[in-house]
Structure formats: C-alpha cells, structure tokens
A and B are shown apart, each in its own frame.
Chain A
Amino acid sequence: MDKSKFYEFLKEETGVFFNDVSPNCYIEKDLDIYGDEAEDFLMKFSKEFNVDITSFNFDEHFNSEVDKISLWLSSLFGKEKKKDLTIYDLKNALIKGKLE
C-alpha cells in the first residue's frame, strides 16, 4: 500500500514530516492534537481514506478542549489516564479500514 498520500495528509494536518522510517509518535502527546482539533483531524482522516471511525471512542483517547492547567488540576483528583493513539494505529486503521 502506498502510504505517500497518508504522509502528505499528516504533513498538511500536523505540520510534521513523516515517512516509512519515521519513529512512531503519539497524536496527542507528541503532536499536541487534542479536543476539537483531534476530532477534526480524525474526521478528515476518515473522509480522506474511507476509514470507519464510528466505533472509535474519542473520550478514551483524547482530552477535551481544555487548557493544560485545568487538565493538570483535574489529574490531581484522579482523572483516568487516556489511551494513547499513535501514527502506527492510524496506519493499521488504513489497512483494516476501521479505527477502534
């Protein structure tokens, strides 16, 4: 499968250049994509590559549109940790046609 279109998409959406040898990175932690931005990113990803995201639990993977200070304060009160979504997960979704 030619992933050049996917890398182009990532470059356009994240501003970071990726290729086959790029290390795996976290969407939220490394690329700072969260909240509305993450939702827009996944919707574009779904539309562009025809990937089903309806069963993907957004809340489990991404934080809401919230500032880092509030996030830190809520983490003090035992807020559950988010599961990390990575570039590798997106590549798998491209193959499966579904993001879970």
Chain B
Amino acid sequence: MIDYFLEKKIIDSVEKSRKRAESKLKLSTHKNFYDVFKGILNSEFRKINDFQIGLYDKSTITYVDKIVIEKKEINSKDHNFDKSVGGSSLILLGQPILKKRFVMKGSAAGTSIASKYLSRAFPQKMPVRILGTNVLGRAIGRVVPYVGWTLVAIDIIEIIIEYSECNEKDKSVFYGGFGGGSFSGGGSEGKW
C-alpha cells in the first residue's frame, strides 16, 4: 500500500533540505553542496521516520530505508576557441617575420605579412595619417594585429565568465537531486 501522506512528506523534506542547503552554502564558501544537502536530508528523514514509528504499529509502518543522491551534471556547450585561433592568426600576421630588403645597415629586421601584402594591394595615399602612416594598405596591415588582440581578449573574458558561471551553478543549483529512493515498507526491522 502506498502511503501518500508519507510520499508528500518526503517530497516536502527534499525541497526544504535543498533550500536550507543553499542558504547554508551562501554563508560558507568551503562546503560541498552534496555533503551539506545529504546531512540536512538525513535529519529531515530521521524526523519522518520517528514520526512514522510513533504514529503506527511498528510491524506495519512505511518508512524511509535508504536514500541515493545522484549528481547529474548539466552538460554545458564546450567553449568555442574560434576567436582565439582567429585572433592569434591575425596577431601572427601583424608580426615582423618577413625579411626586408637590405638598404641600410640593420634594416633587414623584418616586416609583417599583413603590412607587406596589404600595402602592395592598396598603395593609395590617404589625406590623413592613421597609425603612423598615410598608405592605405599599410594602415590596414597595422590594424590587423589589434583586431587579433581584441578577439583574444574577448575570448579570454568569455572563458572567465563561463568558468565563474559554472562555479556558481555548482554551488547554488540543485543539479540532480533525489535520483532514486528505495522505500521499503512494513515489517522490516531496519531503521534508517
């Protein structure tokens, strides 16, 4: 026979324990949600059992025998590193890795791929100087690594936000909860 009254009490106890565990964790940063929740749930169920034993004849009561708590991870979408890869490539395109023509002593230091090829593609002079040059292609070439740095910075910020959100969820969100309980009834000698 299913004891609906007991079932209702169990569900209420789980919810009550969850709330108590969350408020307890707000005050302490070092405790694990699972342990806190389990501790509170144990004391709640002990109360139910004591109540059941006191209410009914010991040979016919229904009580909580054991509980199993399962933690179910919410699979968050893996971080997309496209921005970092793209950004790093743009930074690399803006580095002086190409050898230059030798005209002066030590002038073979190098030029960037972006600057070299873009200044060839767009040799037009601009009326104003942008990033220290008035050659259109060279200005675009000099912007390239900054775009790369921006993308990398955005990606780093996103990773930090995702990481902190994940940590927050781990502490405050009731992931799986009451995964499966085994309630045995009547006649058992065991007491949870």
Contacts and interface: CB of A to CB of B under 8 A. Distances in A.
Interface in B91-112: 91, 94-96, 100, 103-107, 109-112
B132 A64 contact: no
B111 A69 contact: no
A43 B135 CA distance: 16
A47 B131 CA distance: 25
B15 to A, nearest CB: 52
B132 A34 contact: yes
Contacts of B109: 58-59, 64
Interface size class of A (residues with CB under 8 A): 20 to 34
Interface stretch (A1-9, A18-26, A49-57, A88-96): A49-57
A18 to B, nearest CB: 15
Contacts of A43: 103
B104 A42 contact: yes
B134 interface: yes
Interface of B: 91, 94-96, 100, 103-107, 109-112, 115-116, 119, 128-129, 131-135, 138, 141-142, 145-146, 149
A69 to B, nearest CB: 5
B110 A65 contact: yes
A37 B111 contact: no
A33 B129 CA distance: 10
B94 A70 contact: yes
Interface of A: 14-15, 31-37, 39, 42-43, 53-60, 64-67, 69-70
B94 A64 contact: no
Contacts of A14: 129
Given A42-B104, A56-B105, A64-B110, 10 more contacts: A15-B129, A37-B132, A37-B133, A57-B104, A58-B106, A64-B109, A65-B112, A65-B142, A66-B95, A70-B94
A42 B145 CA distance: 25
A65 B133 CA distance: 11
A36 B111 contact: yes
B103 A39 contact: yes
Instruction: Return the 3 tightest CB-CB contacts between A and B, nearest first.
Output: A64-B96, A59-B106, A32-B132
